[in-house]
Amino acid sequence: MALVLGLVAGTVVLLAATAPSLFQRAGRSPLRSLALVAAAGIAVSAGSLPQLQGMLDAEALRALLQDGAVVLVVSLLVVFELLLLVHARWLRRDPATAANGDAAGGIAGIRIALFLFMLAEELSRSFLPLYAQKLYTPIPGLSDTLMMGLPIGLFMLLVAVFTPFAGAWADRFGSRRTLLFGTLPAVAGFVGTALAQSVAELLLWRGACALGYAVMFIGAQGFIARHARREERTRGMAQFVAAVVVAGLCGAPIGGILADHVGERATFAVSALLALAAALAAALLLPAERGERVERRRVRWRDHTALLANPRFAALLLFSSLPTKLMLTGYLFYLVPVTLHGLGETPAGIGRILMIYGLTIVVLGPWVSRAADRSGRNALFAGVGGLVGGAGMLVVLLAPGVPGVLAGVAALGIAHALNNATQLALVPDVCKAECARIGSTSVFAVYRLLERGGSVLGPLLAAALADRFGHQSALAALGILGALCGAAFCVVFVLSPSPADADTRNTAADAAGGGAP
């Protein structure tokens, strides 16, 4: 397997060197780049299949091919990330592009550092609740089912708590130093998680990981905001989002394979090494920068109440944003691994199923963004996303077991491709008065903080439902909740749009048609 991966990587590098125009065209989208490198992988490995058929039985060969396909896809994405970095560094050395290359090189550096760190966090996605269950000792009033959801809920809560402090540190000390110091608690957290012998120790060390996560997330955003030129800032933020999505796509399946072959504790040790690699990438690839004292308006409690008094903002939050985060952490992060484990799936199998979620977003996300921009109907996309996600999770009632869970994961990927970006686009539309009064930055800060409530509540609600009614019923209950919220959102935003929504659609239509009738 290692030899095949090495040959694939060599083939891709050779393509990039000998046919740069082909490589650049393929690199314009993750789907094209995957197709390019997959073709190289198939060509290199096809010759070894007949020999494997003679050495292994059918079941072992199937497992090997499944794991090999996952490792191949992950290797493609990793090679692609590295080639993006090499391309950016080359721009800095070319006198004709050196001016743009400095900014591109810095953004490419933060992308690779962020990718490595997020990959470290995502490695445990397919087995973290099961790892918590192994450390469980009977506690009055806390069943093992509830215990499995607690590390996820606590992690999300602490990320929300630490995020404002991380933003202040990045402004004061600069992103590079903040990222370097921020990875230290994460490395300690991964090592401590690997060595944990009790639930209390697990929660302590996951809290340390949450601090590192908040620092890395906000530090990377701040770096892009400071170093990207104004006309390229949106593209820079797209690089940020791509690093997070690709890391999520790679982490769950490869972490599951590692857990199957070397154990869960060793996988957390690999996460610690990846976090150290992220720190090294930040130290070597990011330019030194001074901290800057930024005078920012502090978000006050009355800002929260003023926004919640806006009925359309409250509807956006309650019927779309909160359910989206709740389904992500409650359904995907908690119920799917626990349910599949109960059905006999290994961590590697769980990781492969979770991978479908990320692949769906990678494939559909760019198309949805373009379509929503052209039509101006962000509310329609967000509402359809909620309905699709809820309906897809209800398939488990018709097809219990792995097929129903698989359909739910795919539907959730479609739903989040439809509503992740469109929700954000709706915030300034429904909060025009508040943005003018307290500033759009403060509005988004309040929105993000309130939105994270769904991330905290998700695993706790899912665990409580599973503890009371069983895993299959909990899956269906979240599906019903998602469908009801999607329907309520459509009633508020699609069936009874405000004049501002109509203005937004007309503006988008004019832009798409050049203003022609």
Cβ(203)–Cβ(174) under 8 Å? no
Q: Which pLDDT value is given to residue 98?
A: 43
In a domain, 291, yes or no: no
Question: DSSP characters for 438-473?
Answer: H-HHHHHHHHHHHHHHHHHHHHHHHHHHHHHH-HHH
Split into its structural domains, the chain has a count of 3
Query: What's the rounded mean pLDDT across residues 378-398?
Result: 91
Highest mean pLDDT among 11-25, 346-360, 362-376, 492-506: 346-360
Q: What is the mean pLDDT of residues 206-218?
A: 90
Give the model confidence (pLDDT) of 454-513 as tens digits: 999 999 999 999 999 999 899 999 999 999 999 999 998 877 666 555 454 444 433 333
Please state, in angstroms and as integers, the Cα–Cα distance from residue 79 to each residue in 6, 8, 261, 301, 349, following that order.
Answer: 11, 9, 23, 46, 24
Average pLDDT, the chain: 77
Domain with 393, as residue range(s), is 303-498
pLDDT digits (tens, 9 = 90+) for 435-454: 777 777 678 778 888 888 89
Cβ-contact 479, 327 below 8 angstroms: no
Hey, which residues does 139 pair with through a beta bridge?
Answer: 142
The CATH number of the domain holding residue 270 is 1.20.1250.20
Residue 229 belongs to some domain of the structure: yes
Higher-pLDDT residue of 422, 303: 422
- In the predicted model, is pLDDT for residue 97 greater than 90? no
Spatial distance between the Cα atoms of 346 and 337, rounded to a whole number of angstroms = 9
- Shared-domain flag, residues 88 and 115: no
Which token pair is 211?
Answer: 């601090």
Q: What is the pLDDT of residue 225?
A: 67
Mean pLDDT value across residues 401-413: 92
The larger pLDDT score, comparing residue 265 to residue 18, is at: 265
Residues 87 and 120 in one domain: no
The answer on pLDDT for 35 being more than 50 is: yes
Do 215 and 177 share a domain, yes or no? yes
Q: What is the pTM of this model?
A: 0.78
Nearest to 10 by CA among 294, 18, 437: 18
Higher pLDDT, 252 or 99: 252
DSSP states of 3-26 as a string?
HHHHHHHHHHHHHHHH-HHHHHHH
b/e string for 246-270 if b means 16 or more Cβ within 10 A?
bbbbbbbbbbbbbbbeeebeebbbb
User: Do residues 491 and 430 share a domain?
Assistant: yes
Residue 325 and residue 451 in contact, taking contact as beta carbons nearer than 8 Å: yes
Q: What pLDDT, on the 0 to 100 scale, is given for residue 168?
A: 73
Over residues 81-92, the mean pLDDT reads: 60
End-to-end, the C-alpha distance of the chain in Å comes to 59
- Give yes or no for residue 325 having a pLDDT over 70: yes
Number of H helices, E strands in the chain: 24, 0
